Amino acid sequence: MAAVKSQPTRIVIVGGGYVGMYTALGLQSKLRSGEASVTVVDPQPHMTYQPFLPEAAAGSIEPRHVVAPLRKVLKRCHVVTGRATKIEHASKTVTVETADGHIETLEYDVLVSALGSVARTLPIPGLAERGIGVKTIGEAIYIRNHVLSRLDQASSTDDPELRKRLLSFVVIGGGYAGIETLAELEDMSRYAMRYYSNLEPEDMNWVLVEATGRIMPEVSAKMGVYTVQQLEKRGITVFLDTRVKSLEGGHVVLDDGTEFDSDTVIWTAGVKANPVLRNTDLPLDERGRVRCTAKLQVEGLPGVWSAGDCSAVPDLSRTEEDPNATCSPSAQHAVRQAKQLVKNIVAVQRGKEPQDYVHKYAGSVAGLGLYKGVADVYGIKLKGFVAWFMHRSYHVSRMPTFNRKFRVVVDWTLALVSGREIVALGQINNPKAEFDYATKS
């Protein structure tokens, strides 16, 4: 009698970002043929390399090169372009709303929750209407076009109040996402200003608002102070220990009494776990993150794994100072957790023991515009050009696939030789306008 061939294990990964894509990438190379099938679900057809979003917004990198196409990279996986709307572990199913709008139910044997995070917002009047985040490539493209088109509008108006409003740019939140976005955009706008005969860089009002007493908690306090000094030298106004009270109608009101008008409000004040997790029967902590063990297994649910921004993974490198410490939401942890996830999933699949995830946060590197940066890695503190070079080298080394690394380096080289691109392609926000005009005239 012929032996009955066992069915391959069905592994479903929800989220194709850092954790999701790197886990799928590892599994497709480690799993033997017929051992398991891997399905990746993400509403975007690509993984976004988020640390490069500020440079994409500033035009130093072509936006398409900051994303890795999932179907091209994950050739041995099944990619579903859709949004998971529900996970029911009791029935081992994931409900997905696919790109064409129909609802699909995926059954799994092994689940990886890699749903990441969304912007953490506050009930500030006007924020929802006026604010924009920096989490997606679409936002980066929009912000670039929006900022550059403010310069075009400011140069063509005779109204001094309107000009002031158009040239006021506010970034709220002083973590690395906020600081890099602010610094890169200010640098780009300053460069662009040389091509506007009636505008001066001093006409711009770049403002950072941070609720705590320091910026960039990822680097030492000393480096945070240095970064503030560098930003202030460039004419950027930094408000520390300050909260935004209202943004209604683009009128910015701070809790120290400062008020001004601005057409550009960028919100980078932290992240929270993906809210879709509330529509699952996975165990969540008080911050809405999936409760995990240090082995990246979801507490009490064999066969379910979780990592990255959406997860509360114990930080074993800090248990002495705080027994309840969990890993911070960062690419640094996400990439390493994905590597451990691959090892653990394969180990369990083959009847072996999974291992703990242990990584001591190494510090951070941040770009502050062309040739400017700050780095604090393994206690080594670097500033200026060296830190900027380190920021670029580190991130390009982390960029997935040789293809993307190569394209990013070519972008930088081109910008070095031919200068920054300063054109606003604002039309992409209203692509039908020209054709509508043609059909009506």
> Distance between CA 157 and CA 385 in Å, rounded?
37
Q: By CB under 6 A, is residue 384 in contact with ligand FAD?
A: no
Q: Is the separation of the CB atoms in 336 and 315 below 8 Å?
A: no
Q: How many residues sit close enough to ligand FAD to count as binding (CB under 6 A)?
A: 34
Beta bridge partners of 374: 366, 383
Instruction: Answer yes or no whether residue 373 interacts with ligand FAD by CB under 6 A.
Output: no
CB 98 → ligand FAD: shortest distance, Å?
Answer: 11
Instruction: Please identify which residue in 27, 31, 36, 41 interacts with ligand FAD, judged by CB under 6 A.
Output: 41
Q: How far is Cα 113 from Cα 111, in angstroms, rounded to an integer?
A: 6
Query: In this structure, are residues 79 and 16 in contact, taking their beta carbons and an 8 Å threshold?
Result: yes
- Report in angstroms how near the CB of residue 310 gets to ligand FAD at its nearest: 6
Q: Judge whether 106 and 94 are in contact, CB under 8 Å.
A: yes
d(CA 387, CA 366) in angstroms, rounded, equals 8
- Which helix (H) or strand (E) covers residue 400, if one does? none
Distances from the Cα of 417 to the Cα of 57, 72, 126, 414, angstroms: 19, 31, 42, 5
Provide the β-strand partners of residue 57: none
Dihedral angle sign, alpha carbons of residues 353, 114, 31, 104: positive
**Interface with ligand FAD in residues 65-124 (CB under 6 A):** 83-84, 114-116
Kindly tell me which of 16 and 354 has the beta carbon lying closer to ligand FAD. 16
To ligand FAD, the closest distance from the beta carbon of 392 in angstroms equals 11
Of 24, 25, 36, 51, which lies in the binding site for ligand FAD, with binding defined by CB under 6 A?
51
The window from 122-130, 147-155, 323-331, 402-410 that contacts ligand FAD (CB under 6 A) reads 323-331
d(CA 337, CA 331): 10
Q: Contacting ligand FAD (CB under 6 A), which of 27, 31, 38, 42?
A: 42
Contact 391, 365 (CB under 8 A): yes
Smallest separation, CB 320 to ligand FAD (Å): 23
Give the span between the Cα atoms of 387 and 382, in whole angstroms: 5
State which residue has the least CB distance to ligand FAD. 17
Residue 369 has a CB neighbour count (10 Å cut-off) of 24
Strand bridging mode 259-261 / 117-119 = unpaired
Q: Does 54 help bind ligand FAD (rule: CB under 6 A)? A: yes
96 versus 192: smaller Cβ distance to ligand FAD: 96
Our CB check for ligand FAD shows the closer of 52 and 163 to be 52
Tell me: does residue 244 bind ligand FAD (CB under 6 A). no
Helix (H) or strand (E) holding 359: none
The CA distance from 222 to 399, in Å, is: 29
Instruction: CB nearer to ligand FAD: give 343 or 398.
Output: 398
Specify the DSSP class assigned to residue 114.
-
Is 292 a binder of ligand FAD (CB under 6 A)?
Answer: no
Number of other residues whose CB lies within 10 A of the CB of residue 104 = 12
User: What residues between 150 and 179 interact with ligand FAD by CB under 6 A?
Assistant: 176-177
Q: Which helix (H) or strand (E) holds 24?
A: helix 18-30
Shortest distance, position 187 Cβ to ligand FAD, whole Å? 16
Which DSSP letter does residue 287 get? T
Compare residues 51 and 126 and give the one whose CB is closer to ligand FAD.
Answer: 51
Residue 332 in contact with ligand FAD, rule: CB under 6 A: yes
String marking each residue 249-288 x if it binds ligand FAD according to CB under 6 A: -------------------------x-x------------
| Smallest gap from residue 353 Cβ to ligand FAD (A) | 25
- Token pair recorded at residue 78: 């099944």
Looking at residues 1 to 20 of the shown chain, list those that interact with ligand FAD (rule: CB under 6 A).
14-20
Q: 412: closest CA among 426, 395, 387, 398?
A: 395
Report in angstroms how near the CB of residue 405 gets to ligand FAD at its nearest: 16
Question: Which positions from 334 through 363 interact with ligand FAD, judged by CB under 6 A?
Answer: 334
Binding mask 125-154 for ligand FAD (x = CB under 6 A): ---------xx-------------------
Q: 8 or 43: whose CB is closer to ligand FAD?
A: 43
Q: How far apart are CA 52 and CA 177, in angstroms?
A: 10
Would you tell me which residues interact with ligand FAD (CB under 6 A)? Answer: 14-20, 41-44, 50-51, 53-54, 83-84, 114-116, 134-135, 176-177, 274, 276, 308-310, 329-332, 334
